[in-house]
Structure 1
Amino acid sequence: MEMTISYKGGKKFVAPCRSHNIVIDQPLDNDGKDEGPTPPELFIASLGSCIGVYVLAYCKNAGIKTEGMAINVKWEKAKNPDRIGEIKVDIKLPEDVGKRKAALLKVAEHCLIHNTIHHQPKIEINLSK
């Protein structure tokens, strides 16, 4: 898989994903035009939505209602080095899942993005012309 993220001036970048163009920018108070989410916001949205997709699949198979389901993600920054230092995810379902709670949490913890965070990929950064 491959994606080329293009610089579009100011602090704006565009990431093409299949038939979509994701605009990434900085807020006004960080010299951006606020035309899209910041990279950390995209990261958090990626984690939350990935968990949501996995939980949704489990719920559909188990006959658990999902209308009104929401994934609330809170995060805090850390320093030395700058990074997201803490993430808390709250999965809100429209009904009590009873004995299935442990299984649902296990499913959520095995989404692709969660696994990637916990099993750090090798990242190689190169500079080219």
Structure 2
Amino acid sequence: MPMEITFPGGAAVNASVRGFTIHTDQPEEDGGGNSAPAPFEFFLSSIGTCAGYYALRFCQQRQLSMEGLKLLMDWERDPDSHRLTRVRLTFELPADFPEKYGKAILRAAGQCSVKRAILDPPEFDMRIA
């Protein structure tokens, strides 16, 4: 399914897919209007939400309580190249979460398709139409 990328003005860039529009902008210090998350923040959020989805499905399939389940994500970047060097996902589990499922929920979240795409990156084909 194709995604259309458009440029509404300033440093904003939008992506439209399946009838949804994803708005992005750059922070003011990077020449943007700070009206939406930056594209890199959307990229990072796709990692967290994908891992979160797999954790959610893990709990739903076992009829485990989701109350209090939270996923915190932070990351590190090389100060010179700005390359992403580490992504850390920390799960806060509900108080009554069965201990026997601790490692299993991490394995489930690790099946995230966004993470797998990073670990085995696709080929990029850029061209002029």
Normalization by structure 1: what TM-score? 0.89
The CA deviation string for residues 100-129 of structure 1, in whole angstroms up to 9 with x for no partner, is 11211111111111111111111122233x
Q: Partner residue of 2:103? A: 102
Q: Report the more deviating stretch, 18-27 or 48-57.
A: 18-27
Partner of 1:64: 64
Matches within 5 A, 1:16-27: 16-27=16-27
Unaligned 5+ residue runs, structure 2?
Answer: none
Q: 1:42 and 2:42 equivalent?
A: yes
Provide the aligned length of Structure 1 versus Structure 2.
128
Matches of residues 71-110 of structure 1 in structure 2 within 5 Å?
71-78=71-78, 81-95=81-95, 96-110=97-111
User: Distance in 2 between the 1:93 and 1:78 partners?
Assistant: 30
Percent of matched pairs sharing the same residue: 29
Runs of 4+ that moved beyond 4 A: none
What is the distance in 2 between the residues matched to 1:97 and 1:110? 21
Q: Do the aligned residues in 2 keep the contact of 1:65 with 1:93 (CA within 8 Å)?
A: no
Partners in 2 of 1:68 and 1:12 — Cα distance? 35
8 Å contact from structure 2 (residues 4, 17) kept in 1 = no
Give the CA deviation at 1:18: 2.0
Q: For structure 1, which runs of at least 5 residues remain unmatched after alignment?
A: none
Query: 2:15–2:23: 8 Å Cα contact kept in structure 1?
Result: yes
**CA RMSD across the alignment:** 1.6
CA distance in 1 between counterparts of 2:111 and 2:61 reads 17
Which stretch shifts more, 24-33 or 68-77?
Answer: 68-77
In structure 2, C-alpha distance between the alignment counterparts of 1:67 and 1:123, rounded to whole Å:
41
The Cα shift of 1:80 comes to 6.2
The whole-number CA distance in structure 2 between the counterparts of 1:38 and 1:68 is: 28
- Find the counterpart in structure 2 of residue 53 from structure 1: 53
